[in-house]
Chains A and B, each alone.
Chain A
């Protein structure tokens, strides 16, 4: 696709996305603007996982923990009366980046299936920690009545407003990811993913570079979490459970590993699939499972073949 065609396509897409809320409301389906908002939040989280899993080659099974941690960071601040969005942003990024630094520093010393298991362990640890803090809800979850104050009279309780704010965050994430992929750092990371022994032999600081990517992905997931608690007005330890990490992985695989739009497509596909199926049957999980199975078993082109190569080298 030529650069001009690409620009036109992006322009069309942008217009479609911006026109969504008024269009939905005109159709009398205003309820679905909040569904769109949910998709955007998941898209950010899934894109961050794609960064670490797709481009970084690190199969992290505890990624939802960063999402949940970000949600709790903002949620706790709101429940304590701190409403400034800037404070929320700073606190969320600091906390999730720190957690990712600690977890990544330890986990990245392992590889292959052990890396998967250890990231899972850390994810579950954070899950149980969230369960233990009864002061902030514990397993009952935390309800917040207020929202982050962005200023300019923006009220995040209003579904279209939230949708646009989240869309901006997603755009920034995607622009950042795009710049990263094209940069020298990005290309090095992909090289490390494909053959880390060779990269190390060539003198690259593979451990530190991977850690940097892991931390960045964690922080972005945290921002998605902060947005999530603003939309739902509620955060519970379930956001950190390993099944949530699994769901994020599903989104990345469905959408396309190591592709810029992979997280977005995967999130949209999964949420829409769920909404459409549940309108017809209560057994939407069943059919979603089959779709997923089919993708894993038969969608070998490019993505699965690449994954197989990646794993073969790790053994």
Chain B
């Protein structure tokens, strides 16, 4: 396999794993609570800002991540138990609108507290490259992201499959009424699930912060991709979220480069550079539309 293809594969893996962190929380919330939460991307933003702020204060990236996870999880749980709880019984349109309103409030609220953006740099120790193969040096920081993503994916899998709480979550996702009837404290479960989702968002936010910018509105674009992932993977399924995220990550990364190279054969470079990435994005949505039309429950449906 050529060095270029290998490097792009790593890039796709990195992007896909970060997308998974967002999608995992979203699919749980959607699967277990049956709620469309458009403000999920805002939790990602809040996590990034808290992390960036802590790093700015203390200089420690690790503290930044820990603080962001705790802070965002706490914020998420508070949000859930106060506001979002009243939306579970409502129809999807009301959920869409209420969480859309939340996006506006959180965006501007963050702006008021922290300003429009905060600087965030990766720890200096990770600034250099790591020679994976002769001729292929890959940035150390991105390797750390891949590593963190894999560890979290594994932990989440263990949590959901091997622990009691995980069993409760799966039960709730698969059949909520039955789970309640069996005596599960559904309210507390929801709050915890939401908290976990928020924490995962925060990790993604802080890890991606140095690569993208920590700025207000950073959640909107990635949120839609997260929805695409969970629709493809199957609402309520963690496994589906992982597969879906990796698929989207790889298709997106390869699509951009392969499409661009293809277009460069017969279009001027400016047009090829615009058409390539855009059509790669279109491909992802076409895929999602196809899944919805043919197998709407997704690749790994959670509901029996």
Contacts and interface: CB of A to CB of B under 8 A. Distances in A.
Quick check: do A and B touch in the complex, using CB within 8 A? Answer: yes
Interface of A: 59, 61, 106, 109-110, 112-114, 116-118, 120-122, 124-125, 128-129, 131-135, 138-139, 242-243, 246, 249-250, 253, 283, 285-286, 288-290, 292-293, 296-297, 304, 307-308, 310-312
B296 A249 contact: no
Nearest to B107: A285
Contacts of B278: 128-129, 131-132, 138
Given A113-B36, A120-B227, 17 more contacts: A110-B296, A113-B92, A116-B92, A128-B281, A131-B274, A133-B274, A246-B100, A249-B93, A249-B100, A250-B101, A289-B102, A293-B102, A296-B98, A304-B94, A307-B91, A308-B90, A311-B93
A286 B112 contact: yes
A132 B279 contact: yes
A61 B102 CA distance: 17
Contacts of B111: 283
B94 A122 contact: no
Contacts of A125: 282, 285-286, 289
A109 B296 CA distance: 11
B292 interface: yes
A110 B296 CA distance: 8
B207 interface: no
| Range, interface on chain B | 35 or more
Interface of A is mostly: helix
A138 B267 CA distance: 15
B94 A289 contact: no
Contact of A289 (B90, B103, B224): B103
B43 interface: no
B227 A253 contact: no
The 6 closest A-B CB pairs, nearest first, are: A311-B91, A132-B278, A289-B104, A286-B108, A289-B105, A292-B101
B97 interface: yes
Contacts of A243: 220
Given A110-B296, A135-B271, A118 B93 contact: no
Given A113-B36, A132-B278, A289-B102, A121 B285 contact: yes
Contacts of A118: 288-289, 292-293
B289 A242 contact: no
A121 to B, nearest CB: 5
